[in-house]
Structure 1
Amino acid sequence: MSIIKRPILTEKSQDLQKGGQYVFEVANKTNKIEIAKEIKKMYGVEVVAVNTLRQFGKKKSRSTRTKVTSGITSTFKKAIVTIAKGEVIDFYDGI
């Protein structure tokens, strides 16, 4: 199991990239030091800071013709990684 699951590419995260901050979904049990080491190893950039938060699952429901189905989305952990000035992570390089 990898520490970094995927980059999160939303409008807010795109705005943060202009300031050198990148958002990733990470494994729930990881800490900031492990995240910083993994980002440095994967992308070869110098990590200045790592901020983490847990995104708790939300209640969702939908109606079908016969019944109403309800449930909860899964909880995951996000990491906002600040890299050194002048360095860039290019997610679209291999496309």
Structure 2
Amino acid sequence: MADIKYYDVILKPVITEKSMAGMGEKKYTFLVHPEANKTQIKEAVEKMFEGAKVAKVNTLNADGKNKRRGMVVGKTAKTKKAIVTLTADSKDIEIFAGL
């Protein structure tokens, strides 16, 4: 496993209707590095966003979809998502504040 730094763990936020609805319960969804584990994700969120205290992290791996272009068959890249639940007394994450 590669040595992953905390700033390489979180790739981008996932902005969907379901993830936006979870923000009321302090649940935030991120696209993360495929080799990152739950402790690395927790550490990255707490270091990158000031005042955020992580209660738990749920992860899910999504396999790449089969795609075809003419006779050539291939797959899209695998992805990994993390749903981060914050504690009740922690601050909200600012990147989602204006959405």
Corresponding letter in the other structure for 1:59? N
1:22 is aligned to 2:28: yes
TM-score with structure 2 length normalisation? 0.78
Corresponding letter in the other structure for 1:91? I
Q: Which runs of 5+ in 2 are unaligned?
A: none
Q: Which runs of 5+ in 1 are unaligned?
A: none
Q: CA, structure 1 residues 93+17, in 2 after alignment: closer, same or farther (shift >3 Å)?
A: closer
TM-score with structure 1 length normalisation? 0.81
How many residue pairs get matched? 90
Q: CA, structure 1 residues 91+26, in 2 after alignment: closer, same or farther (shift >3 Å)?
A: same
- The structure in which a higher percent of residues are helix is 2
Q: Once the 2 structures are TM-superposed, how far is the Cα of residue 33 of structure 1 from its aligned partner? A: 0.6
Who wins on radius of gyration, i.e. which is larger? Answer: 1
Q: Once the 2 structures are TM-superposed, how far is the Cα of residue 70 of structure 1 from its aligned partner? A: 4.3
1:1-95 → structure 2 map (5 Å cutoff): 2-44=8-50, 45-61=52-68, 67=70, 70-86=73-89, 87-91=91-95
